[in-house]
Amino acid sequence: LHGSSVGGGSLDNDAFSLCEKSDATPAPLPPPVALTAAAARLFGALYPHVISAQRVKILEQFVETVNQLKGQRQQTVQTHVCAALCSLLKHQGCIRGSLGPEEVRSPALSLLSGALESVSPLLRCLAAEGLARLVQVVGDPGFTVSVSLLCFDRLKTSRDAASRSGYSLALGALHRYTGGISSAQHLSTCLGVLFTLSQDSTSPEVQTWSLHSMSLVVDLSGGLYRAHAEASFTLVLRLLLSAPPTHPEVHHSLGRCLHALITCLGPDLQGEGAAVSSLRSSCLIGCGVMQDSPDSLVQARAISCMQQLHMFSPPHINLASLVPALCEILLDYSLLAHLCSSYLCLRRAVVACLRQLVQREALEVSEHAVTLVKELPRRDNTQLDVTIKEVGLEGALFTLLDRESDPGLRRDIQETLVHMMSSSATSGKLGHWLKLCKDVLSATTDCRAPVELRQEEEEEADAARDDDSSAFKARSESSGPFTALRWATRRFAMECVCRIIAQCETSDPAHFDMALAQERRLQESTDFLVLHLADLVRMAFMAATDHSDQLRLAGLQTLLVIIRRFSAIPEPEFPGHVILEQYQANVGAALRPAFSADAPPDITAKACQVCSAWIASGVVSDLRDLRRVHQLLASSLAKVQAGRDPSSQLYNEATVTMETLAVLKAWAEVYIVAVQRSRQEESSDRTADLSVSSSLANDSSGSESGGAGLLKLVQSDLCTLSRLWLSALQDYALLTLPQEYAAQLPDT
């Protein structure tokens, strides 16, 4: 139905599909075609409920109608009838239902066998599937044998290409839907017929469909097929070398057969015997022939076969030749020059293969890619060569990720990058990955400056800021290897930073110990995450102050991870202090834009979580710095007290409620920390000794910089907070009240 003359679907046919969360294809069809398709599906659901006598009459009426028509009209009706019949058989196969009396089989078989001889490839495919599903639903071994013999007989007597293509396809479909072949003799007979048809060089169409059918047979035969593997490899190689390139469909079907044969042999390809070595060589030769094909589908199939061979026999795949061949498609054809191969199927195959390769040999794959680029002849724009040499395969994948729109391909690229990062980020290339993520994050398409601080806030913070923090205020010019990357790519770079931090947690303890990292850095050429803390804070700041809401969320999340992991690490050069103290102004500057009046609720909610974690971490020791962070939470509390203003009407009630609860939760966490610290200080005062006195003397900020000062700040809003906390608890209690107590709910 979808392949008829009306063309493909379009959103113009059903605008409501924009509201549906579905990636179903095809797009909404024209109303007449959609009506016919719905009628076919409805027929499949209603037919089993019709009385047995009427079932036979309905199918006989279909046969009579088809026989009375000629030409294009007959083909259209045949398509609709076969679609309805396939819908019925699919429905019955799913519920393991019965087709009805035996009299139903004859007209159904007549309809489907007649369609197998159609000149329309679509109708032949439909009829082949219908015939196989008919055998599956009937479930009678005698009927299965009779249908198979019918196909054999028609193949012997038919001379036209359409009939031979249809019945050869039916053989493969029969084995697909009936669970394979249980008889070695039956398998030999079927393969003998398909082998003969596949060598009919006078009809490329027959060759294509017979080879496709043979690939289905190989897939379903399992271990029973291994006795025929050598002969099949010989046939496939001979046809690959003899079939002219003007018929790429034949080569594509041969690629399907080769892929099925590799899957059939599986782990046996790892053997060292002469026979296994010969089969392995046949696989590699076949892949090499298909890689030289000018057709993109054949090239993609060759890459898929190499990927499958690598899965079962990785030691016998030469990465030194495979990786450059894959990278030439991504790099030479334009990753940085024109775009990439214009064929989506080829790009999918390349990235899928790379994804599998880097799961085992990520470092080796990366080295081969860099070696390839260095050996490539210089292009007109030599800067491109220099750039790709700097960023390596990882940078090329980031660029490809930015330019791709296919969801599946983007997901594969991201998984490839994650595997490469997991294999090398903690084994000597930590600095490379962090620099790569920073370069990606800096390559913005937005020429505007980041969210700036208010003038009065800058004046207040001038005394606390040093030269490092001032560099965080401005977006650097994009002089790196990337230019104009989209926000989705930059957000993924921030996610990679979080992954690196999480990966370091399970690695060397020196990643989170400044003294140990500095000591070991002098003795061995290793790198540690704590030495890159300035870069981590800078990246989090850049993302949190961006104009993309999604990137701001990622930046705030990264900042939260940094606070939780680095807040307790002492500063070796200044005993009694932690390494995050020098970044207090930067953290405050990153949080301020999230509390502006026009900030989305989800960003404000995340910023409240970061604020509470920042205060609870104990990094903020000066009362003035503490008051600045407190003012941010106070502004969010004032927004909650004011209720829904006109700007909040842009968001639904659930989003506003999420923001309100996030604000109240942040205040609750800060209050708990303030009370705990205040009690600890009171306990210390009661047991004061010389050590306490000396520490107080050395602390210029006084006791108010600790729990007492924080508690004093919170107490000014404690009455309002208590009322809001109790209101939230009451709402939660009412929402979670069991149904049997519904009568006790208040009226308002």
Q: What confidence tens digit (pLDDT) does each residue in 368-406 have? A: 887 876 766 554 443 444 455 677 888 889 988 998 989
Q: Cβ-count burial of 49 within 10 angstroms (0-12 exposed, 13-18 middle, 19+ buried)? A: exposed
Lowest mean pLDDT among 6-20, 276-290, 515-529: 6-20
Contacts (Cβ under 8 Å, ≥6 apart) of 347: 329, 330, 340, 341, 400, 404, 409
pLDDT digits (tens, 9 = 90+) for 200-217: 989 999 999 999 999 999
Percent of the chain whose predicted confidence (pLDDT) is above 70: 84
Q: What does the pLDDT average to over 360-372?
A: 86
* Paired residues of 597 in beta bridges: none
Are the CB atoms for 1 and 40 separated by under 8 Å? Answer: yes
- pLDDT at position 377: 58
- pLDDT at position 376: 62
pLDDT digits (tens, 9 = 90+) for 417-470: 999 999 888 877 899 999 999 999 998 755 554 554 444 444 444 444 444 444
Structure tokens, 30: 């024209």
Residues 213, 211: Cα–Cα separation, whole Å: 5
pLDDT digits (tens, 9 = 90+) for 621-634: 778 888 888 899 99
Q: Which of 236-245, 267-276, 463-472 has the highest mean pLDDT?
A: 236-245
What is the 8-class DSSP label of residue 13? Answer: G
Q: How many CB atoms lie within 10 A of CB 357?
A: 25
Instruction: Give the CA angle between residues 62, 64, 68 to the nearest 5°.
Output: 120
Q: How many CB atoms lie within 10 A of CB 171?
A: 28
Residue 114, pLDDT > 60, answer yes
- pLDDT at position 706: 59
- pLDDT at position 180: 59
- pLDDT at position 446: 59
Q: Which of 541, 545, 548, 546 is nearest to 563 (CA)?
A: 541
Are the CB atoms for 305 and 286 separated by under 8 Å? Answer: yes
- pLDDT at position 2: 45
Q: How many CB atoms lie within 10 A of CB 326?
A: 24
pLDDT digits (tens, 9 = 90+) for 396-419: 899 889 989 899 999 999 999 999
Q: What does the pLDDT average to over 231-247?
A: 93
Q: Which of 346, 287, 297, 286 is nearest to 322 (CA)?
A: 287
Are the CB atoms for 497 and 536 separated by under 8 Å? Answer: yes
Q: How many CB atoms lie within 10 A of CB 514?
A: 20
Are the CB atoms for 539 and 442 separated by under 8 Å? Answer: no
The average confidence (pLDDT) of the chain is: 84
Q: How many CB atoms lie within 10 A of CB 516?
A: 16
Give Cα separations from 579 to 333, 563, 569, 681 (angstroms).
Answer: 47, 11, 6, 24
pLDDT digits (tens, 9 = 90+) for 148-184: 999 999 999 988 999 999 999 999 999 888 865 566 7
Q: Which of 255, 240, 254, 162 is nearest to 205 (CA)?
A: 162
Structure tokens, 111: 């309809």
pLDDT digits (tens, 9 = 90+) for 83-113: 999 999 998 888 887 887 888 899 999 999 9
What 3-state DSSP class applies to 578? strand
Percent of the chain whose predicted confidence (pLDDT) is above 90: 50
Residue 480, pLDDT > 80, answer no
Q: What does the pLDDT average to over 272-278?
A: 89
Contacts (Cβ under 8 Å, ≥6 apart) of 57: none
- pLDDT at position 417: 95
Q: Which residue has the higher pLDDT, 642 or 265?
A: 265
Sign of the alpha-carbon dihedral angle for 695, 696, 698, 703: positive
Q: Which of 97, 76, 79 is nearest to 88 (CA)?
A: 97
Lowest mean pLDDT among 6-20, 164-178, 281-295: 6-20
Q: How many CB atoms lie within 10 A of CB 735?
A: 7
pLDDT digits (tens, 9 = 90+) for 305-340: 999 999 999 999 999 999 988 888 876 544 333 335
CA diameter of the chain: 110
Cis peptide before 107 (omega within 30 of 0): no
Contacts (Cβ under 8 Å, ≥6 apart) of 670: 611, 612, 615, 616, 633, 710, 714
Structure tokens, 599: 């900030």
Lowest mean pLDDT among 58-72, 519-533, 534-548: 519-533
Domain ranges of the chain: 1-179, 425-595, 600-684+702-748
